Amino acid sequence: MDKHLGVLSKHTLLTQKFAEVYRQAQYVPQREENDAEHSRQLGYICRMLNDELWYNFDVWLLLKYALAHDLPEIITWDIPLHTRDLDALANKEENEKKAMIKLEEEYPEANSIRKYSKKYNKRTLNQDLYALLIKFCLL
């Protein structure tokens, strides 16, 4: 098998896993939203706000963080900040770190997306960019 086709195949599997994670927050009561849809929507909203409000952030960086911010949920599933499960919330950060290690083992080809997810989850971003992204993560 061609090396590039194998890498493409692994990335496709990763995105399919992302689409299997259903979020607890629902915008339309009759339909659940998955993480792939949420990440795409977040990227769209951040891009439009950036353009409309003249934030002048690096658009590609905005999109990378939007696509990567919930990556650990492929392993941990969705644990929203407004959950009533206080144990899950208390262990969220540690569980996400473990999930990133597992994702690194299962998807070594996805180094780039993992890098942006780690940066996002470490909160090492510019505070304005972080605030813009987190505001719409909590919708």
Domain count, the chain: 1
Question: pTM of the prediction?
Answer: 0.77
Quick: pLDDT tens for 36-89: 998 898 888 888 888 887 777 788 888 888 888 889 999 988 877 677 778 877
DSSP percent split of the chain into helix, strand, coil, nearest 5: 70, 5, 30
Domain containing residue 60 = 3-137
pLDDT greater at residue 27 or residue 48: 48
CATH number at residue 133: 1.10.3210.10
**pLDDT at residue 139 greater than cutoff 60:** no
How many secondary structure helices (H) and strands (E) does the chain include? 8, 0
